[in-house]
Structure 1
Amino acid sequence: MSQALALMPFGELTEQDIVTVRETIAKDCNDSQFRLFMGIAKASGANPILQEIHPSVFQGKLTVQFGIDFHVRKAKETEGYLGYDVQLVHDNDTFKMHQEKAEDGRYYAVIEEHSWGFPRGKVVGGYAIAYKEGYAPFTVVMDVEEVEHFKRSQIGMQKTMWTNYFNDMFKKHMTRRALKAAFGLRFDDVEPGETTPPAYEAPQRKDITAEVEEMAPERKQEQQPKEDDEAAKLKKARLEMKKKFEQLGISQPEEMAAFIEQHAKPKGDKPSLAEITGLLKIMHMHIAEKQELATENDELN
């Protein structure tokens, strides 16, 4: 590590702290990536020594993730913060809840009763409640089936973490959701310079042979699009799909075809813009899961 990196100023971090970060959680970063990571950490106020922020390098690209401790601290810094609670519901628990209508006309969840004894049985759900002065408690309630897909993830380590530490991972997942929504936390785990795609929309079936041919490095380049807005958007979407395949570590045409067939099940001879957009959102979800895994893995270590 260069002397310039070792002496880079960073708020309350000492020179030795920076060396420690460089040699531990940032050991896979090159010098430029390390500078960028530390710059993001400084700008956001997240302390890497306290595991509030973590760098991850995949396929030569830097991704930055924010840990659960940072979510909690930022929520505490928000005006009106009154704390939070998170609980798992087991199949032997007594659990009742209902909705009530606030003065502004919006509904919110109310936990009527949650009591338990032992043995509690398997986890069947859970909830996280964020409390903010002047507002009804914000409650995230989730059935266990909503997170079971993490245990079936194609990302090996993610599957391992959610299988071996399911209760901890489930509670952190719900807590993040509650805090982000209740206190307007806007930071996200995305690559520097990227934007977060819109919400998921289910794609439809299409023939992906031609699409894979166009994305493969050794294949012919894409034909020039028609001089209209729709064609320009379609070309941009195809390039974005290729980029996301690289982020997922999928480079072979056969692997691309298998991924598209499994997750999009498209139809038609040539994919429409709407169909590609739907697949891009699914790919973003897979990338986000991979990034979240890196953060949660650090938190459990």
Structure 2
Amino acid sequence: MANNNQLITQGMEFGELTKEDITTIRQTLAKDCNDSQFKLFMSIAKSSGANPVMNEIYPAVRSGQLTVQFAVEYFVRKAKESPGYSGHDVQLVHDNDEFKMHQEQDEEGRYYAVIDEHSWAFPRGKVIGGYAIAYREDKKPFTVVMEVDEVEHFKKSNIGMQKTMWTNYFNDMFKKHMLRRALKAAYELNYDDEVTVGESQGSNDNDEFQRNRRDITPNQDVIEHGSQQNDNPEPQQEQKPSKIDQLKDQMRTLFTQLGITTNDGIKDYLKKHAPDANPGTQKGLIAINQLLETNLEMLQAQASNDDALD
């Protein structure tokens, strides 16, 4: 067993992570992952520069599906490494607080929020909202202002850990959620730009790893032909949709859930995140859909931090 663990963790060191660190990660944070999922998780961690030991990234396995989650600590570090970083602030607003804000418009016509007053005394009452501010040199402060109603749905999440964290540690989770949003917007920290999900170091590991692969990049043919299918609503007589057609339909649905609804938007996304996939094959479409599903789960998981999670 020891030799098998050494083989699994071999060659996964990066940054300050040692072989011993990788073994510890395998036995603790990633104890629910199978070997293929662990390799995939460490590949994402390495390509994004997120350190599992520092609680910046960790894996979650739900119903056999791997979800890679980034903590707010990752975005804080990336913001601090960005040019012009000048700090950040995050506060909760309670129903007994004095709170006032307004919007202003910058030179380019974009609106931004300005906090005029936030003062309080005890007892403060229930949390009703909050705000996070990201400061950057030569830029207007970027402020995220939210009401509690906007995040109540996380308490009803079907992701067990996310529901637990938001129910038991609501104030902390709410602050992390707002801060992540502010930092990502102010410093253009899009995790899609950081994460590259590639092949394993042995391209023929096993069938399970192949199911978890994210090769990505359908060419223009998939996008254009996929969008044309809806132009003919008449079903074919006595013929069930092919597996590839079903996968294309699934791909379009996933893009819609990500908020990408135009052909140009889809093309740009795939060009950026999928340089090697073969869209003419069932395997290639499966890989594309797996990437989209992972991105959707990351978006949901990130809101839970400790992280679904942003």
TM-score (ref. length: structure 1): 0.67
Aligned-partner residue type, residue 127 of structure 1: Y
1:198 is aligned to none
Taking the aligned partners of 1:21 and 1:55, their CA distance within structure 2 comes to 10
Within 1, Cα distance between the matches of 2:297 and 2:240? 25
For the 8 Å contact 1:155–1:290, the answer to whether it is kept is no
Q: Which runs of 4+ in 1 moved over 4 A?
A: 188-192, 238-242, 283-286
CA positional deviation for 1:293: 6.7
The 5 Å alignment of 1:163-242 reads 163-188=167-192, 192=197, 193=214, 222-223=240-241, 236-238=248-250
Which stretch of the first structure deviates more once superposed, 284-293 or 58-67?
284-293
Give 1:12's aligned amino acid.
Answer: E
Contact map agreement 1:161 1:297 (CA 8 A) in 2: no
Distance 1:90 1:26 in 2: 38
Once residues 221 and 13 of structure 1 are traced to their aligned partners in structure 2, the CA distance between those partners, rounded to angstroms, is: 54
* Structure 1 residues 106 and 35: CA distance shift in structure 2, 3 A: same
Q: Is the 8 A contact 1:89 1:95 kept in 2?
A: yes
TM-aligned CA deviation for residue 186 of structure 1:
1.4
Aligned-residue Cα RMSD (Å) equals 3.3
Contact kept in structure 2, 1:62 and 1:191, CA below 8 Å: no
Identity across the alignment (%)? 60
- The structure-2 alpha-carbon separation of the partners of 1:289 and 1:38, relative to structure 1 and needing over 3 Å to count, comes to closer
Whether the aligned pair in 1 keeps the contact of 2:88 and 2:133 (CA below 8 Å) is yes
For the pair 1:78 / 2:70, whether they are aligned, the reply is: no
Map 1:60-209 onto structure 2 (within 5 A): 60-188=64-192, 192=197, 193=214
Change (3 A) 1:181 1:194: farther
Higher normalized contact order (CA 8 Å, seq sep 6+, divided by chain length): 2
The number of residue pairs the alignment matches comes to 229
1:263 aligns with none
Q: Which residue of 1 aligns with 2:284?
A: none
Aligned match of 1:5: 8
Cα deviation, residue 238, structure 1? 4.2
Pair 14,298 (structure 1): closer, same or farther in 2 beyond 3 Å: farther
Question: Is 1:55 aligned with 2:59?
Answer: yes
Structure 2 Cα separation of the partners of residues 221 and 62 of structure 1:
34
Moved more, 284-293 or 108-117: 284-293
1:2 partner SS = helix
Q: Which amino acid aligns with 2:73?
A: D
Distance 1:157 1:2, change over 3 A: closer
1:178 is displaced (CA, Å) by 0.4
Give 3-state SS (helix, strand or coil) of 1:129's partner. Answer: strand
Q: Which runs of 5+ in 2 are unaligned?
A: 198-213, 217-237, 255-292
Measured against aligned partners, the alpha-carbon deviations of 1:190-216 in whole angstroms (never above 9, x if no partner) come to 994398xxxxxxxxxxxxxxxxxxxxx
Q: 1:297 and 1:99, CA in 2 relative to 1: closer, same or farther beyond 3 A?
A: closer
CA distance in 2, matches of 1:171, 1:93: 17
State the 1:32 CA deviation: 2.3
Q: 1:141 to 1:293 in 2, by over 3 A?
A: closer
Which residue does 2:302 correspond to in 1?
Answer: 292
Residue identity matched to 2:131: Y
Provide closer, same or farther for how the CA distance between residues 32 and 151 of structure 1 changes in structure 2, counting only shifts above 3 A: closer
Q: TM-score, normalised by structure 2?
A: 0.65
Name which of structure 1's ranges 72-81 and 59-68 shifts more when overlaid on structure 2.
Answer: 59-68
Deviations 1:157-208 (A, max 9, x none): 433321211100100000111011110011159994398xxxxxxxxxxxxx
Distance 1:39 1:77 in 2: 22
**What's the offset of the Cα at 1:290?**
5.6
SS at match of 1:62: strand
Deviation at 1:116, TM superposition (A): 0.4
